[in-house]
Amino acid sequence: MIEVRELQKAFGGQQVLRGVSLSIPRGRITAIIGRSGTGKSVLLKHLIRLLRPDRGQVLVDGVDVVPLRGRALDRVRAKFGMLFQGGALFDSMTVFDNVAFPLREKTRLPEPEVAARVCERLEAVGLAEMGRKYPAEISGGMRKRVALARALVTDPEIVLFDEPTTGLDPIMLNAIHRLIADTQQRFGFTGVVVSHDVPDVFEIAHQVAMLHEGTIVAAGPPEQVLQSDDPRVRQFITGSAEGPIRPT
C-alpha cells in the first residue's frame, strides 16, 4: 500500500531521517516503534505529505506523493484518515459534529446521509449514545474513541495513528488497542500506528518496524522483531538502561 524509499529529512541542520526505507502492506496494521525524538511522527507526516523530504520517495498505491501538488495531492490525501496524539477534537462542537466535520468539509453528502454515517461510526466505537455530549463532558478514553470515529467516517483506505494511547491508563490503553484491531478487521483499512507501548502494541500489529537514529533497524512480523538479536532492539523492547542506547 505504501512504499518508503531512502527517505531523508533534516531540520535546521539536524538530520532526523537518514535514508528510511519501509514497505507497509495493504490491509494490515504496521506499528512503528522507537525512542522519543527518533523521527516517528516526522515519518508519519511524510506518508500523508504534510512534510516534503529532502531526498527519497513515498509511494502510495504506486504514486510518488513527494512531487504532487494541488488536486493531485488532495486525491491521494483523500485515501487517509488520521488520529492525532491528543485527539484534536473541537471543544466547541458536540461529539456528533466533531465526527461529522470531515464529511461536511470535504463532501457534498446530504445531511441525512452524514447523520447515518456518523451514527454508524459512533456505534462502531461504542459511543452510540454520546453524540450530544461535548468533549469536556466525556473521559479521555472516550475522546480517543471519538477521534477514531472521525478518522473512519470518510471510509479511508489508510488510517494513521500518532501515539493513540498517550496519557491513558493500562486498562484504557489495552481497550484502545483492541478497538483499533477490531475496527481494522471490520473496515479493512491499512493502519500505521506510531507507539511507545512496547510490547503491548505487538499484540495488534501484523508488522513492526523500529526506527533508531533516523533509520529502520528492524522490520518484520512481531514474533521476528521480538526475537531479534540486535542489541538496540533488545534493549528498547526490554526497557533496560544497559546497552548501546544511551539515556538522553
Contact 17, 9 (CB under 8 A): yes
**CATH architecture of the domain with range 2-238:** 3-Layer(aba) Sandwich (3.40)
C-alpha to C-alpha distance for 122 and 5, rounded to whole angstroms: 37
Report the Cα–Cα distance between both ends of the chain, in Å, rounded.
35
Is residue 30 very low, low, confident or very high in pLDDT (cuts 50, 70, 90)?
A: very high
* H helices present in 139-247, as ranges: 140-152, 170-187, 222-226, 231-238
Give the torsion sign (CA, 44, 167, 131, 98).
negative
C-alpha to C-alpha distance for 36 and 169, rounded to whole angstroms: 19
Cα angle 148, 207, 202; round to 5: 70
Is residue 184 very low, low, confident or very high in pLDDT (cuts 50, 70, 90)?
A: very high
Residue 31: strand pairing partners: 193, 208
Mean pLDDT of the 175-198 span:
92
Give the torsion sign (CA, 141, 147, 153, 154).
negative
Is residue 227 very low, low, confident or very high in pLDDT (cuts 50, 70, 90)?
A: very high
Is residue 248 very low, low, confident or very high in pLDDT (cuts 50, 70, 90)?
A: low
pLDDT tens-digit readout, 46-98: 999 999 999 999 999 999 999 999 999 999 999 999 988 767 899 999 999 99
Cα angle 187, 96, 146; round to 5: 50
Q: Residue 229: CB partners within 8 Å, gap ≥ 6? A: none
In this structure, what C-alpha cell is assigned to residue 4? 518508503
